Copies of this chain bind each other. A is one copy, B any other.
Amino acid sequence: MNDDLREQGPRRVGQVKEVTSLSNPIVKDIKALSLKKARDETKSFMAEGLKLVIDALDLGWTIKILVYSKAGRGKPLVEKVAARTVAAGGLVLEVSEKVMSAITRRDNPQMVAGVFEQRFRALKDVQLGRDETWVALDRVRDPGNLGTIIRTADAAGASGVILIGDCTDPFSLETVRATMGSLFAMPLVKTSVEEFVRWKAKCGGQIVATHLAGAVDYRTIDYKRKPVVVLMGNEQSGLPDELAREADALARIPQAGRADSLNLAVATGVMLFEARRHLLTLGEAR
């Protein structure tokens, strides 16, 4: 693997590389980010779209490589984001449409993509403030579900998403896409059941777990008395007992139809908009 994704120190700046070959080693490294192994090793991921990349820089994310297709050359916003990338010590690549398609695995790729440093917050650094709501997910499996949940958490004004156990990678291309930019706005925490249980004991919040066997109507819970962690079980098996017994409330969403259960992202949305019902108003919405 090329050094461009690995090295931590300063690098040559001020230059734009033009690349048209799929066998260029940097292009190969970026393409490799579709694999979790390469993402883990380099602690990197890719996000597509000019607006998304600008938002990410505005939010303080570290860009390693900016890639734009020839159509972007000379466009003021692209030039500006290229200058910001160089100033941050990143690389800028101008690539052919073919290379952009290969990198993004799309027939009609966006004009701009960025490779960023991954960022997780440590659970011990999560302090629940007044009126805060967090989402905790137990072994979420589906990349699209996870992305949609991160997007939903952002829209509902939640403070972050805690991934418990063996979850799908939040930095996969499919998940990043499904977040529609909210990935950069939502703090993410990766933890184990054991660490979560220890943290829970002193977090000062209430854990509201959604469980098919929950005895409490999700609308009858007092979400105002303490900060809330909405804990959602995995798509196939629901919440394991070791987590369910940590809950301050086992909530259930009444369901009328033949479906066994709501889709995980929809259920999380319904729970979040209930937990934050007293906090969300049209007036306060940005």
Contacts and interface: CB of A to CB of B under 8 A. Distances in A.
A254 interface: yes
Interface residues of A, number: 48
Interface in A180-222: 180-182, 184-186, 217, 219
Nearest to A267: B269
A123 to B, nearest CB: 22
Contacts of A155: 255-257, 259, 261-262
A7 to B, nearest CB: 31
B258 A154 contact: yes
12 contacts: A151-B262, A153-B257, A154-B257, A156-B256, A157-B255, A217-B282, A252-B282, A254-B284, A255-B286, A256-B276, A266-B268, A266-B269
Interface string A274-285: 001101111011
Q: For chain A, what secondary structure do more than half of its interface residues adopt (helix, strand, loop), or is it mixed?
A: loop
Interface in A228-286: 252-263, 265-270, 273, 276-277, 279-282, 284-286
Given A180-B259, A256-B157, A266-B265, A281 B151 contact: no
A144 interface: yes
A117 interface: no
Interface string A136-160: 0000000010001001111111100
Interface centre among A153, A282, A284, A286 (most CB of B within 10 A): A282
A184 B153 CA distance: 31
